[in-house]
């Protein structure tokens, strides 16, 4: 447990070091608001079997993050590496017992925003995100996002049972639009679908009288991210 927490702290420090290293031009910091609907396949099956009815385990995540913007000079490709925090809970009630499941997740991701309609055009402001340029709105604003990353999650049951920390890889794909609210404030809504790999909650299956192989599970989710930037 202590080694896993230490590894998570080291990864976050490495990510902030990347932020400092890429500061080769004017940059902008953004704030993200996040809501997602997720499914951990094996854990959801365990809970449904345990309750003898269908449940949506840890279905919704809510959170926020910060990111750091920079771009390529020759192509319409922009990067917003960032860190984020998400929280999810689930309450299970039946006549025999009552539990609340908690999940706290801190992660880092390296978002790459690709503008397919103007990939090779250079007629945009070099020191600002593309949303501030003039011209046809949709071609300049629409982007496809690819986002690899890693997350660390601390989970427990009723705050005292099966308290575990684990690290998992993630990969998201999505699309978004840059929208200018004023001369200084920019908003970018993004919809993306993603996967997490190697989620591991040791002891989870045994706690629910299931085989231990259910401790590990893949996950997938659909997210809405609203990013805000100030010029």
Q: Is the model more confident about 68 or about 193?
A: 193
Give the global pTM. 0.77
DSSP percent split of the chain into helix, strand, coil, nearest 5: 20, 55, 25
The residue behind tokens 């706690």 is 207
The residue behind tokens 């908690």 is 102
What pLDDT is attached to residue 124? 52
Mean pLDDT of 103-126: 81
CATH number of 2-230: 2.40.160.20
- Pick from 135, 33, 32, 34: nearest CA to 76: 135
pLDDT digits (tens, 9 = 90+) for 173-184: 999 998 888 877
Pick the most confident of 29-43, 110-124, 128-142, 200-214. 29-43
């Amino acid at each position: 447990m202590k080694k896993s927490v230490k590894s998570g702290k080291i990864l976050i420090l490495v990510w902030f070091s990347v932020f400092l290293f890429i500061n080769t031009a004017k940059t902008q910091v953004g704030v993200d608001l996040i809501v997602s609907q997720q499914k951990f396949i094996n854990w959801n099956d365990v809970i449904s079997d345990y309750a003898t009815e269908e449940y949506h385990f840890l279905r919704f995540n809510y959170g926020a993050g910060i990111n750091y913007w920079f771009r390529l000079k020759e192509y319409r490709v922009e990067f917003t590496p960032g860190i984020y925090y998400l929280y999810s809970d689930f309450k299970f009630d039946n006549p025999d017992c009552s539990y609340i499941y908690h999940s706290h997740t801190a992660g880092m991701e390296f978002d790459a925003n690709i503008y397919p309609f103007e990939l090779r055009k250079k007629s945009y402001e070099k020191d600002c995100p593309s949303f501030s340029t003039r011209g046809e709105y949709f071609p300049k604003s629409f982007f496809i996002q690819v986002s690899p990353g890693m997350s660390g999650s601390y989970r427990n049951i009723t705050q005292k049972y099966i308290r575990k920390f684990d690290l998992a890889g993630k990969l998201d794909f999505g699309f978004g639009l840059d929208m200018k609210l004023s001369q200084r404030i920019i908003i970018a809504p993004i919809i993306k679908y993603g996967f997490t790999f190697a989620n591991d909650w040791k002891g989870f299956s045994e706690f629910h009288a299931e085989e231990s192989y259910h401790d590990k599970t893949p996950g997938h989710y659909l997210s809405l991210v609203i990013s805000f930037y100030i010029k």
